Chain A
Amino acid sequence: MDPRALRRFRSNRGALVGTGIVLLLVLVAALAPAVLGLDPMTSDFDAGQGAEGAPVGPSAAHWLGTDTVYRDQLARLVYGARLSLVIGVAASALSLLIGTAAGVLAGYWQGRTIGPAALRLSLDGIIMRFVDIGLCFPFLILVMAIGAALDETTVWTVLIVLGSTSWLGTARIVRSQTMRVRDLDYVTASRALGEGTAMVLVRHVLPSVAGTLIVLGTISVAQLILAESALSYLNLGLAPPTPSWGHMLLEGQRDYASAPWLLAAPGGAILLSVMGFNLLGEGLRDAFDPRESPP
């Protein structure tokens, strides 16, 4: 990594806060279930049940109180963090993969036609029109339609649905970067020296878009965590009783006036994690690409 980028990153307070939040999240998701020793699926009818069957608020036995069926809210939050992170990161990786492939394909072979000559179909045109059409489609409705068509939602289906619908923006950015790099003198020179297309892509094009990809990936983790929460909030995510922040929000909202912790905990968790990834992503962007940020 460029030492100047590292210096810029270290002097950016927002980026450091973001890093801290993300590290904390990862740590919590990885370790807390073991440390906590509470099961997010089991109702506690003794310490978790208050007067007249009400859930209990924050207490010694349940630090964040219990939900409406007396399961530990903290345990659910922590397991929910696991789910959100796994889905956010994996779906973002998937979306980067597809987006980069499509972007490089469209950008590097821009101007190349395929199929019968009379049709003059350009590869770039086909991919980018597909992207345009995809971007016109309201993201959530698309995801909801796919989610509703699937009989059973698992982590895999959510992940694939989110990953395969969120790569469009990435493809656009990667395409323009590829086009820029493709025509740089040193790339032309290396082609002239007989380097094959694969080599050019791997040695010159991909490294030059890597910075952008890291930034896009980090920010898209935040967006996908939000999207996963939205899906579960709309009851289209993983089926209960799997703990998920969005669904906890849904369960909590009915009674928020009398049991605000049911809403505050998952809401705060979503806010914090999305903010963490966004701050980290923007910090990375400022570090990698100082020209784009204001002086």
Chain B
Amino acid sequence: MKSLSRMPPVARRAVVAACRIFVFPSVGFGVTVLSAGCEGIQGPIGERRDGPPERGGTLHLANYGDVRTLEPAVAFDAVSIPVLQLVFTPLVDYDREGRIVPLLAERLDVSSDGLRHTFQLREGALFHDGQELTADDVKRSIERALDPDTPCPAPSFYASIAGYAAFHDGVKDAAGRLAFAPHLVGVVVEGRYALRIDLSEPDATFLPALTLYFLAPVCRSAGSKYARDWSNHACGSGPFRIEDWSASREITLRRHDGYFEPGLPYLDAIRWSLLVPPLSQRFKFEKGELDHLRQLGAQDLRAYRSDPRWKPFGQWEPPKLVEGVFLNTQMKPFDNVELRRAFVAAIDWKRVIASRPDAMVATQMLPPAVPGHDPGFSGQKHDIPKALEHMRKAGHAFDPATGAGGYPETVTFVTPTDTAIAENFAPILQQQLARVGIRMRIKQVSYTAYLAETSKRNHSALGYCGWSMDFPDPSDFFEPTLSSDAIQEEETQNRAFFVNAEFDALLKRAHRELDPAARSAMYRRCEEIVRDEAPWALGFHQRWYEIVQPYVHNYAVDAKHTEDMRAVWIDAAARGDGKRDLLAAIRPWGRR
């Protein structure tokens, strides 16, 4: 830029005018927006009034993620499950107290040996295409989902159904060829509305797994074989049907008038915006373009939590995740159990998670939402002297005063990039481990690379790990993550490559044990093994804080469901015009 005084008068006037028109206002605008941000959050829109449920209205929701498929036999991610919940109905479901109750089935009888489950279906339940739902449809849907050609991510949840192996895995005939049974013999249609499922062995996880959407009945248009593009016009028997799905943008659900639960649903429609970043969600919520807010940044979460105007409309969802650090028990240096114990004792998780109001320190694998979680359990503990003692036993004595000794090499911590773990926790972990003589390097990689690297044998010694609940049963937390059955050369979930005979035997027994008290004793022992053998440094349970606008009624969080909008209704009068113009105060030409 040249000095103004040396410019010809015309040019000088032009520059000054340009500054007046563009530069000064934009700087001013920027400052105003920033300071508007400093002022804090806007209050709720409308008011909460008591009254009977109202019908009608459209609920607006948003998610940071994208829905890739709405095929119930295949979808298994946190973004699509809340949508599946509205579109499909499983045979059984959890009630608010965490008991398994019939949903699509009217009655469920389980034989005393736990092997025979008899379902009496509701008469007159309709699919979205108007056809009546019968026991044949249920059987067809189950076989369709467990068909060997269907890319169902977790068919083994149902491996205890009689005939599963012959149907899903096939049996070798005399000539050595693999032959598949045409039907799943354990699923028997006993009448138009009666269905029986026989198990080959007692299985305490069968009914919990049946509350998932994999086996939920699908319309006859889905046929008896999985087809990739059926998901685009998925059709089930849930309270809402899919009206429109523009990929990566928005899903519109419309009320299903033939839904079997009397009176439900209240809403006319639900509109779900996809790929909306958390900060945009917050501003859309403040503007009244969203009715519910769940994905909040740490700072915004604090702001909403501490604002008395918002207090009545926010609630914590019971934590359903456990996260921490895996220590590869088959790789140097963490094949040494003493070094693992030193690692675990060196970390003060209370400080590590101090910056995240949505995390609570974990003492055990099972998060509070899962039966078997024991608030009184004495788990892994932060204890520097003990950590130093373990370092000494591991042969790497460390003197904190001089910084001499410790494990001589730098260990690499692998974490997916752009996550709270990478940004907030890893730097503090690094500081804390240095105090006992473990030098750690942080390696941030994309999520895909993280999955590939940490799930390969002899590849990553140390890294982030976590597990999110599929269904509320302890088996779901221990079996995929730490059992030796889960170990594969690649793509294993047992990132610690943890092998422990007692642990494996306990898991197998607990899986078949039908007595709840005996079962929880076994899982408690599993918790003790994890604590003492330290394949994971158990860190924290992440949880969600959920806020609705005052005019949104009947939204409840519970331990089993996520974003359950099935019974929500909107008080249209209390909402008013429902829109707020956040920029009105600073827009030079006033309100639009």
Contacts and interface: CB of A to CB of B under 8 A. Distances in A.
Given A68-B298, A254-B299, A255-B298, A239 B442 contact: yes
Interface stretch (B140-148, B387-395, B420-428, B503-511): B420-428
Contact of B3 (A11, A42, A239, A250): A11
B37 A258 contact: yes
Contacts of B4: 13
Contacts of A11: 3, 6
Interface stretch (B208-216, B348-356, B514-522): B348-356
A279 B351 contact: no
A239 B444 contact: yes
B300 A258 contact: yes
Nearest to A257: B37
Contacts of B585: none
A11 B422 CA distance: 50
Contact of B424 (A51, A68, A152, A256): A68
A235 B417 contact: yes
Dominant secondary structure at the B interface = helix
A53 B356 contact: yes
Interface string B48-82: 00000000000000000000000000000000000
A254 B355 CA distance: 13
B306 interface: yes
* Chief secondary structure at chain A's binding surface: loop
Contacts of B6: 11
B297 interface: yes
Contacts of A256: 34, 37, 279
Interface string B278-310: 110010000000000000011110110110000
A257 B422 CA distance: 22
Contacts of B424: 68-69
B418 A235 contact: yes
A42 B431 contact: yes
Interface string A267-295: 00000000000010010001000000111
Interface in A12-30: 12-14
Nearest to B277: A254
B517 to A, nearest CB: 39
Given A69-B428, A241-B430, A258 B355 contact: no
A43 B351 CA distance: 10
Contacts of B279: 253-254, 256-257
Nearest to A256: B37
Contact of B303 (A14, A53, A152, A258): A258
Contacts of A41: 427, 431
Chain B interface residue count: which class? 35 or more
Interface string B1-43: 1111110100100000000000000000000001001101000
B423 A68 contact: yes
A108 interface: no
A69 B355 CA distance: 6
Contact of A12 (B3, B282, B302, B431): B3
A262 to B, nearest CB: 9
A260 B2 contact: no
Contacts of A12: 2-3
Contact of B355 (A68, A235, A240): A68
A222 to B, nearest CB: 13
A259 interface: yes
A257 B355 contact: no
Contact of B357 (A52, A55, A286): A52
Interface string A220-252: 000000000000000100011100000000110
Most buried by B among A239, A264, A286: A239
A251 B355 CA distance: 13
List the 7 closest A-B pairs by CB distance, nearest first. Answer: A255-B299, A258-B299, A241-B427, A257-B37, A13-B3, A53-B354, A14-B1
Given A41-B427, A68-B299, 5 more contacts: A69-B423, A70-B354, A239-B441, A240-B444, A258-B302
Interface of A: 11-14, 41-43, 45, 49, 51-55, 68-71, 152, 235, 239-241, 250-251, 253-260, 264, 279, 282, 286, 293-295
24 contacts: A12-B2, A13-B5, A14-B1, A14-B2, A14-B3, A41-B427, A49-B354, A53-B302, A53-B355, A53-B356, A69-B427, A69-B428, A71-B427, A239-B442, A240-B422, A240-B423, A240-B427, A241-B430, A254-B279, A256-B279, A258-B37, A258-B40, A279-B1, A294-B11
